[in-house]
Structure 1
Amino acid sequence: MRISELARRSGVTTKAVRYYESLGLITPGRLANGYRDYDEDDVRLVREIRALHRLGIPVERTRPFLECLAAGRAYADDCPASLATYREAIDELTERIEALTARRTTLIGNLNAAAHRGSAVVPSEESGTADDDYLTLPADLPVPEDDGAVEHLCGTAAPGVALCDTAGRTIRLDGLGPRRAVVYVYPLTGRPGTDLPEGWNSIPGARGCTPETCGFRDHFQDLLEAGAGRVYGLSSQDSPYQNEVVERLGLPFDMLSDPSFGLADALGLPTFEADGMRLFKRLTLVIRDGVIEHVFYPVFPPNEHPEQVLTWLRENPL
C-alpha cells in the first residue's frame, strides 16, 4: 500500500510515517519503480507507535515494543524490555507529578498570601451597631429543617446555565472538568452600612453568609489539598456587589452571580422570600465531570460548614 493509505489507516500523518521510517522503526518494501510499499505489519507497527506516544512514551523509545511484535509475540508488551520501558515512563511521570504538586502548593500559598494581604473586615465597632457585625452569629439562630427539597439532586447532571463570575468570565457548571468543584450557594452577604432584610435573624438558614464565606476563604488551601479543584460562592446578587465582597473579605476564589435564578429553575433548587426578594436557600453542591456528586442541605451552622465540606472531601477521596 502507498504511504497515504498507511497514514489514513493508522491515524497519523504521512510526515509522521516518514519520521518513523527515518528512525528505523518501520522498514517498507520497495516496488520495481522504487516506490515504498507498506503492508499490514506496518499498519500494526504504526498504530502501536501512536498508542504508546499518546501514553507519553516518546516515539524514539517505542523500539522495544516493536521488536517484541517482530519477534512474534501477540502483544507488544509481552517482552521484558517493554516492561522496563513502562517502568521508566512511570518513574518519569512520578517525578513530574511530584514537581508539579510542589509548584501547585507554592502557587496556592502565594495566592492565599496575596488574597489576605491588606484585607480587612469592618468590625462592629466601626459599623455602628452589633447587628452590623456580620461575622458574629447570634446564639439563638433558628435551625433550618430538612424539607427534602434537594433529594433529587445527587447524580443529576449539572445544567449548562451560563453564570458570570467576579473575574468577568462566563462559567458553566457542566464544564468544570473532572476535578471536584465545591459550589456553596447562599442567600446574600451583608455589607457594612446596608440594612439586612426585615426579620433576617428569625428566618431559618438566612443569617451567616459572611462567616460561611470567610470559612471557605480560611480553608481554601485545605480544600484544594483534599481534592477540590475549584471553589465558588453563588448567590442572586449581581457581580458588582459580589466584587465588593471578594475585595473586602480578601477571597482567593471567585463568586458566581445568578440574579435570574437560572440554576435554581434548572435544578429545582429551594428558594425563599424575604422583604419582597427571592433568595437562594443555603446549600452546597459538589460537582465532578458535570454531575452533582454530593449535596449538603440544610447547612447549619454556616460558620462551621466549610469544615464539614473539608471533612467530607477527606473521607471520600477520589
Structure 2
Amino acid sequence: MRIGELAERSGVTTKAVRYYERLGLIGPNRLPNGYRDYDESHVRVVIEIRELAATGITARQAAPFVECLRLGHDHGDDCVSSLAAYRDGIAEIDRIIATLRARRAQLAERLHESASRTFTKEQPMSDDGTLPKDLPIPADDGAAAHLPGLALPALTLPTADGDQVDLGELTPGRTVIYLYPLTGRPDADLPDGWDSIPGARGCTTEACDFRDHHDDLRNAGVNAVYGLSSQDVDYQAEVVGRLRLPFTMLSDERFRLADALDLPTFRAPGRDRLYSRLTLIVRDGRIEHVFYPIFPPNTHAQQVLTWLIQNPA
C-alpha cells in the first residue's frame, strides 16, 4: 500500500508516517520503481505509536514497543523493555508534578508577601481568587467528545484591545483557547446560585492561573493563549486591565463558535446561555486536544502545561 493509505488506515498524517521513518520505527519496502510500499505490519506499528502518544509516550520513546511487535508478540507491551518504558514515563510525570508543586508554592509565597506590602485593605470582588471547598465537581457528559480533529471555523471575533482574531487563520503551531462562562467584577453580581452550578465558579482564578503560567506555556511551544466568553468587549477589557492579563480575550456574544462546533453551554438565573468551561489545544488550525470538564479551574493552566510538556509538538 502507498503512504497515503497507510496514514488513513492508521489515523495519522503522511507527515507523521515520514517522521516515524526518520526515527527508524518503520522501514517501508521498496518497489522496483523506487516507490515506498507498506504492509499490514506497518499499519499495526503506526497504530501502536499513535495509541502510545495518547498516554504521553512520544514517538521517540516508542522503540521498545515497536521492537516487541517485531519480535512477534501480540501487544507492544508484552516485553520487559516496554514495562520499563512505562515506569520511566510514570517517573517523568512524577518529576513534572513535583516541579510544578514547588513552583506553585514559591509563587504563592511571593504573592502573599507582595500583597502584604502593597494592600492595606482587601477589596471585595465577585468570583475572587478563592474557591469554596464544597464546590460541586462537573461530570463528563460527553458533550465535547466530538471535537478532537475538527478544524476551527473561519470565524472573526472582536478582542478586548479593539482588534479582531480570525480563528480560521491562527498562526501555525499550537494555540490554547480556554472558554469560560463569565468573570465577576466588583460592581457586578454573579447569577443566583452560581456556586451550586457544577463548573461555573472560578473564572477569575482560571484567568489568573493562565496569567501566572503564560511564559511557561509559551516556552512549552504555545504561540498564543486566548480566553473566550460571551461577555462583551468592554467587559473583557475591564478584566484584562484589572487582572493584568498578558494575553488576548475574545468576545463571542452571539455564541458563534458554540454554534459552529456544537460546544456545550448552560443556563443560569438571568442568563439564557453561557459557555461551559472548556479548553481547546489547536494545532495548525485543527483541535488536537480538549480539556472537558475542567476542575478545579484555579490550577487548570498548570494541567494544560503538564499536557504540553508530555506531548511536545
| TM-score normalised by structure 1 residue count | 0.60
In the alignment, which of 126, 129, 139 is matched to residue 123 of structure 2? 126
CA distance in 1: counterparts of 2:127 and 2:288, whole angstroms? 35
The equivalent of 1:285 in structure 2 is 280
1:303 maps onto 2:301 in alignment? no
Summarize the Cα distance change of 1:195–1:303 in structure 2 as closer, same or farther, 3 Å threshold: same
1:228 maps onto 2:225 in alignment? no
The equivalent of 2:143 in structure 1 is 149
The equivalent of 2:259 in structure 1 is 265
Q: How far apart are 1:153 and its partner, in Å?
A: 0.3
Q: How far apart are 1:167 and its partner, in Å?
A: 2.0
Which one-letter code corresponds to 2:152 in the other structure?
Answer: A
Query: Structure 2 matches for 1:130-209, cutoff 5 A?
Result: 132=126, 134-209=128-203
The equivalent of 2:247 in structure 1 is 253
What is the aligned length? Answer: 198
Q: How far apart are 1:157 and its partner, in Å?
A: 0.7
CA distance in 2: counterparts of 1:172 and 1:262, whole angstroms? 12
Q: How far apart are 1:133 and its partner, in Å?
A: 5.6
CA distance in 1: counterparts of 2:241 and 2:120, whole angstroms? 16
CA distance in 2: counterparts of 1:225 and 1:171, whole angstroms? 22
| TM-score normalised by structure 2 residue count | 0.60
CA distance in 2: counterparts of 1:276 and 1:269, whole angstroms? 21
Which one-letter code corresponds to 1:239 in the other structure?
Answer: V
Q: How far apart are 1:219 and its partner, in Å?
A: 0.1
Q: How far apart are 1:288 and its partner, in Å?
A: 1.4
Q: How far apart are 1:124 and its partner, in Å?
A: 8.4
1:276 maps onto 2:276 in alignment? no
Q: How far apart are 1:184 and its partner, in Å?
A: 0.4
Q: How far apart are 1:290 and its partner, in Å?
A: 1.1
Q: How far apart are 1:174 and its partner, in Å?
A: 1.7
Say what the alpha-carbon RMSD is for the aligned residues.
2.1
CA distance in 1: counterparts of 2:205 and 2:239, whole angstroms? 12
Q: How far apart are 1:123 and its partner, in Å?
A: 9.9
CA distance in 1: counterparts of 2:193 and 2:224, whole angstroms? 34
Instruction: Name which one, 1 or 2, has greater alpha-carbon Rg.
Output: 1
Moved over 6 A (4+): 119-124
Query: Structure 2 matches for 1:25-64, cutoff 5 A?
Result: none
